[in-house]
């Protein structure tokens, strides 16, 4: 059996297949209470605190360890079984209700007057396998197995995969027509993000969306583990003669020009007191200048916070402007590994990754409280860079992108 990690060539294949699906959704009045951040954004402790105060919280389904004693491991069989029991209870009580027919959905997020609207649809596992759905990130088997088992036991996909398509304007009229539909859900979450969810029932409009996406390549922006896990379950069930609905998985597909990527910054602890040595060695490769500005003003530059001061790092070496190397890779190859001995950022416990949404003050707080540490702020990866890496079959370094605003889970589920 092929695995979800296999990456065949995309030569000679068809373009994306999408289709509407029968959604399992919260009734309108409780949707704001049900919706939560994706399972991998909140820790078990954070989710436990939220769920203890909210019987409708979707964490009861996506992070069911919140309803078990803290000593129960998150991968214990009891966790998945509790998730299934909680899902069944949500359905029995009418918190979640099944649509009568297949539908598409439009999901709009508004943050600080920036608006992005994506089409919620089902995509096919074969498109993932054949690289019509393109990836830029490696997945960890442990995390894949966790979400695969979660889907298998619950018999449902509970989280959206965040995807992009290259906007050329051809679908604008379809989206505009969909935006004329009265919202089913419209609420603001505690982080001041507005979430608007529309249901597309009109068959002609649904058919038009299906046709419009036939020429597209899709790109996973966020949710690689959710996608790989769904493909793993779909392939397994297909091999057992139980494919069908399981061969499709749920995604929300945004135009690439509406999406914003924030930087994923780095902090390294344990300098061994060698601050003067670090500055001296940095000066061999970079022009090190004190600055009052904690954010780089362009790519291929970094800002560094060390011992209560910010520094701007400008390369002394020639940077190939046509190179596909990302800033996160340049930081790793020229500073983190040779100067700070971070050989594998995936596994080294000395490095921490801090999303750009938290700002430079979080970096300062970390270094000031830890003492023997250093922080680096980066210029964000562009959406075009993400697509270029995906098109080339490349893999970004870990923690390269931070997407805001975050999707909410629980607005729609896909039953297998």
Q: What is the pLDDT of residues 320-374, one digit of tens each?
A: 754 557 899 999 999 999 999 999 888 899 999 999 888 899 999 999 998 889 9
349 and 374 housed in the same domain: yes
Report yes or no on 4 lying in a domain.
no
How confident is the model at residue 12, as a pLDDT? Answer: 44
Q: What is the pLDDT of residues 70-128, one digit of tens each?
A: 999 999 999 999 999 999 999 999 999 999 999 999 999 999 989 999 999 999 999 99
How confident is the model at residue 277, as a pLDDT? Answer: 86
**Long-range contacts, 175-182 (Cβ 8 Å, 24+):** 175/106, 175/117, 175/119, 175/255, 177/205, 178/104, 178/106, 178/119, 178/205, 179/106, 179/108, 179/117, 181/106
Is the torsion defined by CA of 177, 182, 184, 186 positive or negative? positive
What's the CA gap between 3 and 238, in Å, rounded? 12
Report yes or no on 55 lying in a domain.
yes
Report yes or no on 111 lying in a domain.
yes
Query: Average pLDDT in the 217-221 region?
Result: 97
How confident is the model at residue 138, as a pLDDT? Answer: 87
**Long-range contacts, 65-74 (Cβ 8 Å, 24+):** 74/44, 74/146
How confident is the model at residue 14, as a pLDDT? Answer: 64
What's the CA gap between 222 and 161, in Å, rounded? 6
272 and 367 housed in the same domain: yes
246 and 278 housed in the same domain: no
Report yes or no on 144 lying in a domain.
yes
Which range of residues forms the domain containing residue 176? 18-261+404-415
246 and 279 housed in the same domain: no
CB of 385 within 8 A of CB of 327? no
pTM of the model: 0.90
244 and 374 housed in the same domain: no
The CATH number of whichever domain residue 287 belongs to comes to 3.30.1760
**Residues in contact with 348: Cβ distance below 8 Å, sequence separation at least 6, in sequence order:** 342
324 and 252 housed in the same domain: no
33 and 180 housed in the same domain: yes
Report yes or no on 97 lying in a domain.
yes
How confident is the model at residue 321, as a pLDDT? Answer: 57
Report yes or no on 290 lying in a domain.
yes
Q: What is the pLDDT of residues 226-253, one digit of tens each?
A: 999 999 999 999 999 999 999 999 999 9
Query: Average pLDDT in the 28-57 region?
Result: 96
Q: What is the pLDDT of residues 323-334, one digit of tens each?
A: 557 899 999 999
192 and 278 housed in the same domain: no
How confident is the model at residue 407, as a pLDDT? Answer: 96
Query: How many domains in the chain?
Result: 2
Q: Is the pLDDT at 282 greater than 50, yes or no?
A: yes
176 and 275 housed in the same domain: no
Report yes or no on 398 lying in a domain.
no
33 and 164 housed in the same domain: yes
Q: Which two tokens stand for residue 324?
A: 């596909």
Q: Is the pLDDT at 6 greater than 90, yes or no?
A: no
33 and 108 housed in the same domain: yes
181 and 57 housed in the same domain: yes
């Amino acid at each position: 059996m092929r695995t979800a990690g296999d990456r065949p060539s995309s030569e000679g294949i068809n373009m994306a297949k999408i289709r509407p699906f029968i959604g399992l959704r919260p009734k309108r009045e409780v949707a704001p209470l049900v919706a939560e951040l994706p399972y991998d954004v909140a820790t078990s402790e954070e989710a436990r605190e939220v769920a203890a105060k909210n019987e409708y919280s979707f964490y009861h389904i996506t992070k069911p360890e919140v309803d078990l004693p803290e000593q129960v491991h998150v991968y214990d069989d009891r966790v998945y079984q509790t998730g299934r029991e909680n899902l069944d209870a949500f359905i029995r009580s009418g918190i979640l209700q099944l649509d009568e027919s297949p539908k598409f959905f439009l999901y709009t997020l508004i943050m600080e007057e920036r608006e992005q609207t994506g089409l919620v649809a089902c995509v096919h596992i074969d498109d993932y396998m054949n690289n019509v759905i393109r990836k830029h990130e490696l997945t960890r088997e442990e995390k894949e197995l966790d979400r695969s088992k979660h889907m298998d036991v619950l018999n449902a996909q509970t989280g959206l995969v965040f995807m992009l398509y290259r906007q050329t304007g051809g679908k604008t009229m379809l989206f505009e027509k969909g935006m004329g539909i009265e919202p089913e859900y419209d609420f603001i979450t505690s982080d001041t993000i507005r979430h608007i969810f529309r249901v597309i029932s009109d068959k002609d409009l649904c058919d038009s969306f299906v046709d419009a996406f036939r020429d597209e390549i899709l790109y996973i922006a966020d949710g690689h583990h959710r996608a790989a896990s769904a493909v793993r379950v779909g392939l397994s069930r297909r091999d057992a003669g139980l494919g069908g609905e399981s061969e499709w998985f749920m995604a929300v597909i945004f135009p690439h020009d509406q999406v914003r990527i924030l930087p994923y910054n780095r902090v390294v602890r344990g300098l061994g007191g060698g601050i003067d040595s670090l500055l001296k060695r940095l000066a061999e490769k970079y022009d090190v200048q004190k600055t009052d500005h904690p954010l780089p003003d362009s790519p291929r530059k970094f800002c560094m916070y060390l011992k209560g001061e910010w520094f701007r790092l400008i390369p002394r070496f020639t940077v190939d402007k046509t190179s596909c190397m990302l800033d996160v890779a340049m930081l790793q190859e020229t500073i983190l590994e040779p100067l700070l001995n971070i050989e594998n950022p995936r596994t080294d416990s000395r490095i921490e990754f801090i999303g750009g949404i938290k700002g430079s003050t979080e970096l300062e707080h970390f270094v000031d409280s830890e003492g023997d540490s250093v922080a680096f702020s980066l210029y964000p990866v562009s959406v075009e860079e993400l697509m270029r890496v995906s098109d080339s079959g490349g893999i970004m370094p870990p923690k390269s992108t931070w997407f805001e605003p975050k999707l909410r889970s629980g607005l729609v589920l896909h039953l297998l």
